[in-house]
Amino acid sequence: MNSPSIDAILAPRPEGRLRIYAWSPNDPPKDYLGLIKVGQTTQENVNDRIRQSQGQMQHAYTLHTDVNTFAERRDGSTFRDSDIRQRLVDKGFANVVRGSSREWIQCAPEDVKSAIIELQQGLRFEASRDQHFAMRSEQADAVKQTFDYYQSRWTEDPKAVPRFLWNAKMRFGKTFTSYQLAKTLNARRVLVVTFKPAVEDAWQSDLEGHVDFDGWRYVSQKTDGNPLEVPADTPMVYFGSFQDLLGKDGKSVKKKNEWIHAINWDLVVFDEYHFGAWRDSAKELFEGEDETVAKQEIEQEFTSSLDKVNDQLDVVGDNEGLFLPITTRAYLYLSGTPFKALATGEFIEEQIFNWTYTDEQRAKAKFSEEHPDKRNPYGALPQMRLLTYQMPEELLSIASGGEFDEFDLNEFFKASGEGVLATFSHKNEVQKWLNIIRGSGESQAIESLRSGSKPPWPYSDVRLLPYLNHAFWFLPNVAACHAMKNLLEERQNTFWHDYEVIVSAGSDAGVGLDALPPVREAIGSGHDTKTITLSCGKLTTGVTVKQWSSILMLRNLKSPETYFQAAFRVQSPWSISNPDGDDPNREDVLKPACFVFDFAPTRALRQLSDYGIGLSPGESNPEKAVADLVSFLPVLAYDGARMVQVDAGGILDIAMSGTSATLLARKWESAMLVNVDNDTLRRVMDSKDAMAAVERIEGWRALGDNVIETIVNKSDKVKELKKKERDGELSKKEKKELTAEEKEYKSMRKKVQEKLIKFATRIPAFMYLTDFRENALVDVITKIEPELFLTVTGLTVADFNLLVDLKVFNTERMNAAVFAFRRYEDASLSYTGIDSHEGLTRLGGYDTVVGKDAVSQ
């Protein structure tokens, strides 16, 4: 797909509101006496819509509702004309069918108005089993692939307990699709275990609201009913959190959870299974919060035993018996960012279904091309756009540093104090930044005169302003959030007084979903209000505010998982289906795009490149992975003079800018390059050739005989002792044994890791000695000089290839390291006029953001 133009990227947002109307003919025929027609439309003039619906037989009529009666609740959600009719039917009024129309109600005008007011005030009518949509094609594919894999494993071994991973981004429909898988399996007992309890509403509503699951029973700690009393032939879903199910009464499993172990489950679903990657990332999201609040946020959003769970996982690998000593036929894992599980080989290719942001947006474009007259099931999912801005030197000078000597957002927005007394350390500069982003900075005015064009600053470009009516500002800490609110409300900032500013930070804002109601109340329907939500971690996971259309990244984030976890908050759909009630194929999309604004370009593009590479674990060429992503996530960058569009090559160039030989070497010394978990070690141990290969690594024999087998055996021993410890059966002697065994096997594992890393550091030395310019690890393996490789590394090409296949080396991390080395080498050689090897040229041009192929505005 070709990248959209800058004008397309900055296309204005369409407007639209759903209005409700009610009318009756002035001189009605006999069979229309006492009837009122209740309808809906997004047309601004409801009378035009009424005349359209009358067709050629135009009648005088009385409109019983105001022309601006909006179908909007206080929380910003919408209702439909069918909800009003259903509310009236529930009150005893008849829904009369006349011809092909089912919109007539036998009631008085006051009854309609009352029903409208009730719905507007949030007295929502919850219809039972009112959902009847079918699975989308990718959802059906996920069910089929998973079912086929389970069946293949059961055919091989009837006692097998297969595992399958859905690497699916948010809004894939994981709950609905998981239930469809359970139906396909003819499951009667399904256990859903989550690391993020806030998602329970989705699991319950999908089961209880869709006609496909009629007869199923939903049970959780919040619902009434005893799961053991559910009849055996009634399908049951039990929802529980790790906080609860891992908790203990003293040293034993909670008594109230003992029943779980008495059931033979047909399917166990682990929801939000990216917690392995979130051990540090979860903390990063909330590190700006007060210490106590941060701990509460992490506990509520993930698990109260996050560190403990991960430490235990390091021991047991894929043995879920540690979590819950239960029996089940199969496991399903759900995650939007399972980067760790993908990288370590925890799941092989045939055990994974992928549905990424790129897949979603590609499906959206393809459906529009192939079915232009049908409602696009992906049509309401906005395309993300990333806009980065280079700050003027006067601001850069006060907040630059770090290993890449780049703009430090945490330093720039550093603040102190509490509440109304909070203030920025660099208040004058932050004020200048506020002026700049609304296009009134002095230096920007001068640059605009020089270049003859004005860059699209977030709060100045008329095409962007509608997307900023409701924006999320992600700041470093609680003090910065309060300081920003105080500054925005000062007298000189009259522009910002049109926006209601909500501080969603600190203990006063509440924990988890408790912080959401003030935001919803301020936004309302989103049409008549303007808001800025200030947060340093709250509301960045597990919430949907459809009116949020932009996020301003005003803090440093280290991992792409946390960066995009926050960014995807603004990608929620906002649309009105069948607005006039007469065309099910029509959908008015109110948010076709959403925007991420970042003011540290190098860091932002580094996150984007890492995320693109992480989304495509099977792609050997990092640039192609990034190119696939930016074809649906276009990037504009302001370099201080003009705004240009950046391609994949430019993104990688900028992301790697400032990389020194020292930093490059650090990439090859990272523990992330190698995998030494039990699963990987077992794969090596099970291969005679692999064992022979690792024994040829320099210094390996100094580790002693059978080191891998010893590590695996000792970790199994530790696992057994830890189980006894959990059950309260560990003696004093065994406690000492546990401590000694655990210490020894961890030490041995560390030594194995160090040997593998030492080997990895030989690869760039080999690359430097060859004439090739390698793009990725596959090039190191397939386009190399075998004898030289053996001389430099001590392994044959076949040895190395085998260890790569067994996931001893983290392919994605090593791909990035190889590519970074190639980029660095090319930059060095360019000074001498030497070009890259002809057979290994990269995907696109090398031009940076200001290069000759960049598209200027």
Same domain assignment for residues 299 and 341: yes
pLDDT of residue 548 exceeding 90, the answer is yes
Kindly state whether residues 596 and 677 are assigned to the same domain. Answer: no
CA distance from start to end of the chain: 20
pLDDT attached to residue 128: 47
In this prediction, what percent of the chain has a pLDDT beyond 90? 35
Residues 377 and 518 in one domain: yes
Same domain, 240 and 383: no
Position 851 confidence tier, pLDDT thresholds 50, 70, 90:
very low
User: Structural domain tally of the chain?
Assistant: 4
- Is position 94 within any domain? yes
Verify that 510 and 581 share a domain, yes or no: yes
- Work out the pLDDT band at 400, boundaries 50, 70, 90: confident
Summarised one tens digit per residue, pLDDT across range 657-673 is 554 444 555 667 777 78
Is the pLDDT confidence value at 125 over 50? no
Q: Look at residue 328 and tell me if it is in a domain.
A: yes
The Cβ of residue 631 has, within 10 Å, a number of other Cβ atoms equal to 18
- Write the pLDDT tens digit of every residue in 562-605: 888 889 899 999 998 888 887 888 889 999 999 999 999 888 98
pLDDT in tens, 342-366: 655 677 788 999 898 999 999 999 9
End residue of a domain, out of 331, 355, 379: 355
Alpha-carbon distance of 554 to 266, in angstroms, equals 46
Q: Which of 371-375, 521-525, 651-655 has the lowest mean pLDDT?
A: 651-655
The residue range of the domain holding 86 is 19-120
Neighbour tally for 690: CB within 10 Å: 19
* Long-range contacts of 214-217, Cβ-Cβ distance < 8 Å, separation of 24 or more: 214/129, 216/179
Greater confidence (54 vs 288) lies with 54
User: In this model, does residue 404 exceed pLDDT 60?
Assistant: no
Write down which residue in 92, 120, 148 finishes a domain. Answer: 120
207 shares its domain with 192: yes
pLDDT for 249 equals: 54
Q: Residue 849's Cα: distance from chain center in Å? A: 27
What sign for the dihedral angle of Cα 376, 378, 380, 385?
negative
Short-list 347, 364, 430, CA closest to 395: 430
Distances (CA, A) of 699 to 733, 750, 753, 773, 798: 35, 14, 12, 30, 20
**What is the reported pLDDT for 699?**
87
DSSP-based helix, strand, coil % in the chain, nearest 5? 45, 15, 40
Tally Cβ neighbours within 10 Å of residue 668: 19
What number of other Cβ atoms are within 10 A of residue 321's Cβ? 11
* Token pair listed for 655: 């992301």
Residue 559 DSSP SS3? coil
| CATH assignment at residue 483 | 3.40.50.300
- pLDDT surpassing 80 at residue 777: no
* CA–CA gap between residue 403 and residue 268 (Å, rounded): 44
Mark whether 318 and 394 lie in a shared domain.
Answer: no
**Do 283 and 336 fall into the same domain?**
yes
Q: Does residue 314 surpass a pLDDT of 50?
A: no
- DSSP assignments along 489-506, one per residue: TSTT-GGGGGSEEEEE-S
Contact 256, 250 (CB under 8 A): no
List, in order, residues 6 or more apart from 449 with CB less than 8 Å away: none
Torsion sign across C-alpha atoms 202, 205, 211, 215: positive
Distance CA 189, CA 181 (A): 13
Last residue of a domain, which of 64, 93, 120? 120
pTM for this entry: 0.74
pLDDT of residue 493 exceeding 90, the answer is yes
Residue 720 lies in a domain: no
Alpha helices for 230-277 (secondary structure H): 242-245
- Domain assignment present for 128: no
My answer on whether 398 and 345 are in the same domain is: no
Position 635 confidence tier, pLDDT thresholds 50, 70, 90: very high
- In a domain, residue 740? The reply is no
Distances (CA, A) of 818 to 198, 476, 606, 621: 40, 33, 16, 10
Whether residues 495 and 398 fall in one domain: yes
Instruction: Mark residue 346 as left, alpha or beta (left: phi above 0; alpha: psi -120 to 50; beta: remaining).
Output: alpha
SS3 category, 369: helix
Q: Is 132 part of any domain?
A: no
Q: Which of 117-131, 141-155, 302-316 is predicted with the least confidence, judged by mean pLDDT?
A: 302-316
pLDDT, tens only, 803-821: 888 888 877 777 777 776 6
Judge if 651 and 695 occupy the same domain. no
What is the Cα 159 distance to its own chain's centre? 35
Q: Which of 39-43, 272-276, 459-463 has the weakest average pLDDT?
A: 272-276
**Beta carbons within 8 Å of 830's beta carbon, 6+ residues apart:** none
* Residue 717 domain-assigned (yes or no): no
The Cα–Cα gap between 624 and 641 comes to 29
Q: Is the pLDDT of residue 835 over 70?
A: no
Residue 625 lies in a domain: yes
pLDDT (tens digit per residue) in 249-270: 555 556 677 778 788 999 999 8
Instruction: Measure Cα distances from 74 to 544, 545, 673 in Å.
Output: 16, 13, 51
Mean pLDDT along residues 544-571: 90
Please report how the helices 200-209 and 174-184 are oriented relative to each other, as an axis angle in degrees rounded to 10.
50
Q: What is the mean pLDDT of residues 203-227?
A: 85
Domain co-membership, 90 together with 194? no
What number of residues does the chain have? 857
391-422 core/surface letters (b: 16 or more CB in 10 A; e: else)? bbeebbeebbeeebebbbbbbbbbbeeeeeeb
